[in-house]
Structure 1
Amino acid sequence: MKKISCLLVICCVYFLANAQTTAYIRINQLGYPLKGIKVAVLGSTNAEVFKHFTLMDAVTKQPVFEGSTGSSFGKYGPFTNTYRLDFSFYKKRGKYYLQAGNAISPTFNINDNVYNGTADFCLRYMRQQRSGFNPFLKDSCHTHDGYTLYAPVPDSTHIDVVGGWHDASDYLQYSTTSANATYHLLAAYHDFPTVFGDEKSANGLDEKNNIADVLDEAKWGLDWLMKMHPKADWLFNQLGDDRDHRGMRIPKEDTNFYGKGLERPVYFCSGLPQQRGKFVNNTTGAASTAGKFSSAFALGSSIFYTINKNYADSLDERAITAFSLGLRKPGACQTASVVSPYIYAEDNWVDDMELAGAANFAHDVITYERTKNEESYVAHSKPDTVYMNIAYKYALQEPITPWLGADTARHYQWYPFINPGHYELAKALHDKRRDTLIQFYKEGIDRVWRKAKQNAFYRGIPFIWCSNNLTVSFAIQCYWYRQLSYDTTYQQVEQACFDWIFGCNPWGTSMVYGLPSWGDAPTDPHSAFTHLKNYPIDGGLVDGPVYTSIYKNLIGIQLYNEDEYAPFQSDLAVYHDDYGDYSTNEPTMDGTASLIYLLAAEQAQANSK
């Protein structure tokens, strides 16, 4: 009888252990604000059906709320049954976990401080990406850049373009991503100034300088963009090319890949297709780059006016000349590749010129308001509506960012991944045109929502390369729409995108290195810093999951370690926390900058409730 009892106990333990591994609860590991939307996702790998879930106090181990799972959304990725667990009703501070059957979630916090400091945390990655003087390494790199290609001077003419940020885990530098990143950092400060602290000096080292660290970082970007737009009719699009990919190394140990000593090539925005090696891009103009430059310069000039007026005036001058270049050379400027077919294949440009027009108009309004009470105010006429009118004409040419609602797109084909111009322009307008722009945002969001509402994760973002960047950008568009319209229809899908980034996804992992420090987050990204030196890349947003069909057809993919997320890979999409997977686990500078804006917005919202 005793043997039978022991056998029964063993069988029960075995059964419970296996039962626990068939259902999983995915949460936002950062936590949830008191009055915010609080939703987790329950996924089961078998046909198990759930009816209820319980919110448990992690300290007392007592239930504090019980809710209905609702109907199953059915299969998604590795899961056979999926449910949305909504506990938004519960608004008491504390530490909790969720339980449904034998599935138990990680512990999480509910309070209004859960997002505090996260935007500043992600600035660590931006500083680590600096070229020129790198504060993380406390050393300099790429100090010989660069030599010109396609410029109106002989090829190989030296020009000083030292500075800026490395684009990702390679050390290429692109004007488009850098200008977009700079704009997002400036906008984050402009829209949420109280969120950011001051712990660093302008060079990124530890020393307060009475300037928010996010502005120090934005200025690092602006300084480089000014070097890439050194004359009124000169604009450069790219520093280095894919010959960089011949080896992983720490940037201060960079080697000669280009045949010009330690100089790297800097590609001029000619507005025409460019060929290096056997590959030709499909460049049709320069406006996509020029518009991004102009908007960053205009917003930067508005913000830095009270900090350094001479600097602000220089930015203002370049905002105007870059906008003029965009008007003269309409079309999209793509990057150049030499040894591989992968480029930033941007096809749109009117969105960039719309934002540039809106940003320059906003700058003129701010300048007028600042100077109208000064003795010289008579010299400052009221803001001309020319910029506004031009911007609106561009808005009508691309009302909806084309990837929204689509299943696929080429790499960076529609960039930036949302249109900030609609938001900036709508804030300046007070007539029917404002309503039109808001409707453009609504239609774009609705295209995604029609797909997203069919699955428990509310996932309507295509699993293309840099899917996390698209996810962050889409959440920002939802936020901007809500600010303009006061319509909360899409707040659930907005929150679902934010939650996805921090663990409410099939893999149950955050997509940001080191955030949160206590959770499941990337530890083995495609980065020389971590792979060669075990340096942390705190705050870096990795590319994110891709369609399995894409992953299987990429060049040079090789996993180095056993896949800890193997049970959660599917025919739909894969994600690997593995150095060898450059498609899903490589951090990007521009994606991180966009995330900084979103985190600032989330912190500001939570703190205001």
Structure 2
Amino acid sequence: MRRSGIALACSFVLGLSGAAVGAAPAHAAGATALVRINQLGYAAAGKRAYLMSSTTETGATFSVLNSSGAVVYTAPVGANLGSWSSAYPDVYALDFDSVTTAGTYTISVSGPVAATSPAFPVGTGQSLYAGAMANALSFYQDERDGANYIPSALRTAPAHLNDEHAMTYQTPSYKASTGAFSGSLTPLGITIDASGGWWDAGDYLKFTETTSYTVDMMLLAVRDYPTETGAGFNAEAKFGLDFLQKMWNDTTQTLYYQVGIGAGNAKTVSDHDIWRLPQADDTYDGCTSLYRYICNRPVFPANTPGGLISPNLAGRVAAAFGLCYQVYRTSDPSYADTCLLSGEHVFALANTAWTGNLTTAIPYSFYPEVEWRDDLELGATELYDALTAATPPAGLPQSNPSYYLQQAATWANAYITGPNDAADTLNLYDVSGVAHYELANAINAAGDPSGLATSVAALTADLKKQLDKAVTQSAADPFGFGFPWDTWDTTSHGAGLVVMAGEYDQLTGTSTYAPYEERWTGNILGANGWGLSFIVGDGKNFPGCLQHQVANLAGSLTGGTPVLAGAAVEGPNSKATTGSVSGMVACPANGTDTYAAFNSSNAEFRDNMQSYSNTEPAIDLTAASVLAFARRMAGQ
């Protein structure tokens, strides 16, 4: 769960013309039926669309037609997969794996209630997902803070230039229920350059927690799929690393974890209390006392100088710096050397006897992470890979890579035997889905040395344990999604499952989860009860009313451009939240709940700028899709 119960400022609209695509049901004697598809198309085994109907479709058949209208495949509709809702009690599988010729197709259902799908492509992963990858890059570029912003239709000025000389403060005591703190913050008398980085979400806060996870996912994609990610993501990953280097002072051995405050009090306006474009903040309302932390944003340290660091932050920041060395050691060796030294120092300060809430954000309820062993596994693995990638620079605390391989195996075993094993899948709160894969590859490359606390077999078995739970969940959902629709971060978990499915099959040389990989990809891109792609700009029908300030105030609210392309939103949830901030541009303008008719008994999606539980995008929510799309483009 993320950002619980705290009103956020962020909204955006992609016009309702997009919302109409595939949303208008076919009618026959008062009954309705719709065909739900992966709007980006189909590339591999597991090609499945879904027929959702208000009545039984006994005896129905479906045909796949090419762009000329010729039937290329026909078959009876597949099994009734169960009830989606009282309005749509019957959902059927439409499988068409034999359609492999590249082209544009539609599906036509003939039966008790006829239905026709929107057009969709069949092609290679490269042809289908290259546009989505470009959109994802665009999203991160639009989320850039500081002087080094990238001008676009949404971004016309730099923002938060005062962050270049930000004061640091003690972490205040605050009410867990609201995040509000009492009185004023206590300055530490030290200013740092906290400029740059990406905004966390639709708000303008910046967190080491989410930035380090995002950089980790991005650098894994850049390292392993440089052709697919291209020069754009190579530069964007370095932009994220630059911010992490500012959040880490290697001289004083101090890590900073947050820039800005999301919840204030009667005497202090916070980031989430106002709705504005980011360039307004440096001089907001004359920088009066009430707005002092808007104009001059506070920075909070995660440790005292040289003191121990919350292990989740230590692990994922160390991973980012280890990956930095792997990716930039040839193109920018001095920068890479600095990263590696920082990574080893951060990892060495991990508090492995941590108790209580992990350090994530103020308030903790914004990002209530509970697991950290996976972070240390990933951090140690990437430091190991860095030391084996080339002759390491002089002056490192640890130059023997076997030290980090042993550390990685120890923490992997601690995770597997720990209290949260397989309780989650790859997302911000659990990175074991990539840590296990990375470590298994490292152990194999090292020749499977003896004496490690875990093995490739144990790591792949734990990946399988997580994936099998997702398969079990799929069987309970008529659309076959591997994660409950009524839970936070739906979109992000879907992309994470796609990554994990491909990793397991790659490690084992099998195609065990290939059909699920195809279908889980489809689930977040339109093959769901709402017929929505939950990534903006990917497909024709996607959320239009994001809770994102820039998109709401500078984007199109009428169905045109610009849109916040590439932004993965929260997705469906158990409840569509409400809450208005002065200055929001109403979206939809008429307040219509376009997708209410498609909500299930447990999950709902409301395309409304107030509904952050559904429509807020974030850098961490989008991160797994970068790696997922890169793998799909590469044919993995």
What is the TM-score normalised by the length of structure 1? Answer: 0.83
Instruction: Note the alpha carbon deviations across 1:205-227, whole angstroms, 9 max, x for none.
Output: xxxxxxx1101100111000011
Q: Counterparts of 2:504 and 2:29 in 1: how far apart (Å)?
A: 43
- The within-5 A match list for 1:107-186 is 107-112=119-124, 113-133=127-147, 134-136=149-151, 137-145=155-163, 146-150=166-170, 154-155=187-188, 157-186=190-219
Task: Report how far residue 138 of structure 1 moved.
Answer: 4.4
Given residue 602 of structure 1, which amino acid in structure 2 is its aligned partner? Answer: R
Q: Which of 569, 576, 584 pairs up with 2:614?
A: 584
> In structure 1, the residue corresponding to 2:401 is in which secondary structure?
coil
Task: Tell me if structure 2 keeps the 8 A contact 1:405–1:451.
Answer: no
Q: Which of 30, 33, 53 pairs up with 2:62?
A: 53
- The within-5 A match list for 1:474-513 is 474-513=497-536
Task: Report how far residue 121 of structure 1 moved.
Answer: 2.2
Q: Counterparts of 2:299 and 2:398 in 1: how far apart (Å)?
A: 40
Q: Which of 545, 557, 570 pairs up with 2:572?
A: 545
Residue equivalent to 2:374: 351
The verdict on how the C-alpha distance between 1:526 and 1:252 changes in structure 2, with shifts beyond 3 A counting, is same
Task: Tell me if structure 2 keeps the 8 A contact 1:285–1:329.
Answer: no
Q: Is 1:299 matched up with 2:323?
A: yes
Instruction: Note the alpha carbon deviations across 1:79-137, whole angstroms, 9 max, x for none.
Output: 21111111011211221111122111101111222222321221000011011022132
Task: Report how far residue 141 of structure 1 moved.
Answer: 0.9
Q: Counterparts of 2:271 and 2:399 in 1: how far apart (Å)?
A: 49
The verdict on how the C-alpha distance between 1:157 and 1:76 changes in structure 2, with shifts beyond 3 A counting, is same
Instruction: Note the alpha carbon deviations across 1:356-409, whole angstroms, 9 max, x for none.
Output: 1100001111024x99xxxx9xx9998431111111111112128988876x99
- The within-5 A match list for 1:191-210 is 191-197=224-230
- The within-5 A match list for 1:419-568 is 419-430=433-444, 431=448, 433-462=455-484, 463-516=486-539, 519-534=540-555, 535-548=562-575, 551=576, 560=588, 561-568=591-598
Q: Is 1:268 matched up with 2:301?
A: yes
> In structure 1, the residue corresponding to 2:325 is in which secondary structure?
helix
The verdict on how the C-alpha distance between 1:419 and 1:592 changes in structure 2, with shifts beyond 3 A counting, is same
Q: Counterparts of 1:16 and 1:357 in 2: how far apart (Å)?
A: 55
The verdict on how the C-alpha distance between 1:351 and 1:404 changes in structure 2, with shifts beyond 3 A counting, is closer
Residue equivalent to 1:311: 335
Q: Counterparts of 2:513 and 2:192 in 1: how far apart (Å)?
A: 48
Residue equivalent to 1:335: 360
Q: Which has the higher contact order (CA 8 A, sep 6+)?
A: 2
Task: Tell me if structure 2 keeps the 8 A contact 1:129–1:166.
Answer: yes
Q: Counterparts of 2:243 and 2:280 in 1: how far apart (Å)?
A: 21
Q: Which of 108, 111, 119 pairs up with 1:99?
A: 108
> In structure 2, the residue corresponding to 1:196 is in which secondary structure?
helix
Given residue 482 of structure 1, which amino acid in structure 2 is its aligned partner? Answer: D
Task: Report how far residue 67 of structure 1 moved.
Answer: 2.2
> In structure 1, the residue corresponding to 2:614 is in which secondary structure?
coil
Q: Counterparts of 2:121 and 2:323 in 1: how far apart (Å)?
A: 36
Task: Tell me if structure 2 keeps the 8 A contact 1:348–1:413.
Answer: no
Instruction: Note the alpha carbon deviations across 1:297-348, whole angstroms, 9 max, x for none.
Output: 011111101111111111011111110111567466333446xx84211111
Q: Counterparts of 1:418 and 1:493 in 2: how far apart (Å)?
A: 19
The verdict on how the C-alpha distance between 1:228 and 1:601 changes in structure 2, with shifts beyond 3 A counting, is same
Given residue 104 of structure 1, which amino acid in structure 2 is its aligned partner? Answer: T
> In structure 2, the residue corresponding to 1:259 is in which secondary structure?
helix
> In structure 2, the residue corresponding to 1:189 is in which secondary structure?
helix
Q: Counterparts of 2:527 and 2:418 in 1: how far apart (Å)?
A: 26
Residue equivalent to 1:26: 36
Instruction: Note the alpha carbon deviations across 1:463-510, whole angstroms, 9 max, x for none.
Output: 322211111112211111111112322222222221111100101011
| Uncovered stretches (5+) of structure 1, i.e. residues with no partner | 1-14, 198-211, 272-283
Given residue 323 of structure 1, which amino acid in structure 2 is its aligned partner? Answer: F
Given residue 233 of structure 1, which amino acid in structure 2 is its aligned partner? Answer: Q
Aligned residue pairs, count: 547
Mean alpha-carbon deviation: is it higher for 353-362 or for 41-50? 41-50
Given residue 122 of structure 1, which amino acid in structure 2 is its aligned partner? Answer: A
Q: Counterparts of 1:405 and 1:366 in 2: how far apart (Å)?
A: 31
Q: Counterparts of 2:429 and 2:61 in 1: how far apart (Å)?
A: 43
Instruction: Note the alpha carbon deviations across 1:541-597, whole angstroms, 9 max, x for none.
Output: 11100014xx36x76699752011121012211112221211101111122122111
> In structure 2, the residue corresponding to 1:41 is in which secondary structure?
strand
Instruction: Note the alpha carbon deviations across 1:270-316, whole angstroms, 9 max, x for none.
Output: 39xxxxxxxxxxxx961111111100001111110111111111101
Q: Counterparts of 1:584 and 1:21 in 2: how far apart (Å)?
A: 29
Given residue 107 of structure 1, which amino acid in structure 2 is its aligned partner? Answer: A
Residue equivalent to 2:310: 286
Residue equivalent to 1:74: 82
Q: Counterparts of 2:95 and 2:121 in 1: how far apart (Å)?
A: 15
Q: Counterparts of 1:417 and 1:308 in 2: how far apart (Å)?
A: 28
> In structure 1, the residue corresponding to 2:235 is in which secondary structure?
helix
| Uncovered stretches (5+) of structure 2, i.e. residues with no partner | 1-24, 172-185, 263-269, 449-453, 556-561
Mean alpha-carbon deviation: is it higher for 558-567 or for 354-363? 558-567
Given residue 244 of structure 1, which amino acid in structure 2 is its aligned partner? Answer: D
Instruction: Note the alpha carbon deviations across 1:168-222, whole angstroms, 9 max, x for none.
Output: 100011101101111111111111111133xxxxxxxxxxxxxx11011001110
The verdict on how the C-alpha distance between 1:469 and 1:147 changes in structure 2, with shifts beyond 3 A counting, is same
Q: Which of 86, 104, 109 pairs up with 2:95?
A: 86
Q: Is 1:237 matched up with 2:257?
A: yes
Mean alpha-carbon deviation: is it higher for 352-361 or for 425-434? 425-434
Given residue 106 of structure 1, which amino acid in structure 2 is its aligned partner? Answer: P
Q: Counterparts of 2:435 and 2:196 in 1: how far apart (Å)?
A: 27
Q: Is 1:225 matched up with 2:244?
A: yes
Task: Report how far residue 147 of structure 1 moved.
Answer: 1.8
Task: Report how far residue 451 of structure 1 moved.
Answer: 1.9
Task: Tell me if structure 2 keeps the 8 A contact 1:467–1:545.
Answer: yes
Instruction: Note the alpha carbon deviations across 1:27-85, whole angstroms, 9 max, x for none.
Output: 1111112x4431111111223335422111232x2211012323211202452111111
CA RMSD of aligned residues (A): 3.0
Task: Tell me if structure 1 keeps the 8 A contact 2:482–2:497.
Answer: no
> In structure 1, the residue corresponding to 2:627 is in which secondary structure?
helix
Q: Is 1:600 matched up with 2:630?
A: yes
The verdict on how the C-alpha distance between 1:546 and 1:488 changes in structure 2, with shifts beyond 3 A counting, is same
Task: Report how far residue 144 of structure 1 moved.
Answer: 1.4
Task: Report how far residue 17 of structure 1 moved.
Answer: 3.4
What is the TM-score normalised by the length of structure 2? Answer: 0.80
> In structure 2, the residue corresponding to 1:326 is in which secondary structure?
coil
Task: Tell me if structure 1 keeps the 8 A contact 2:422–2:462.
Answer: no
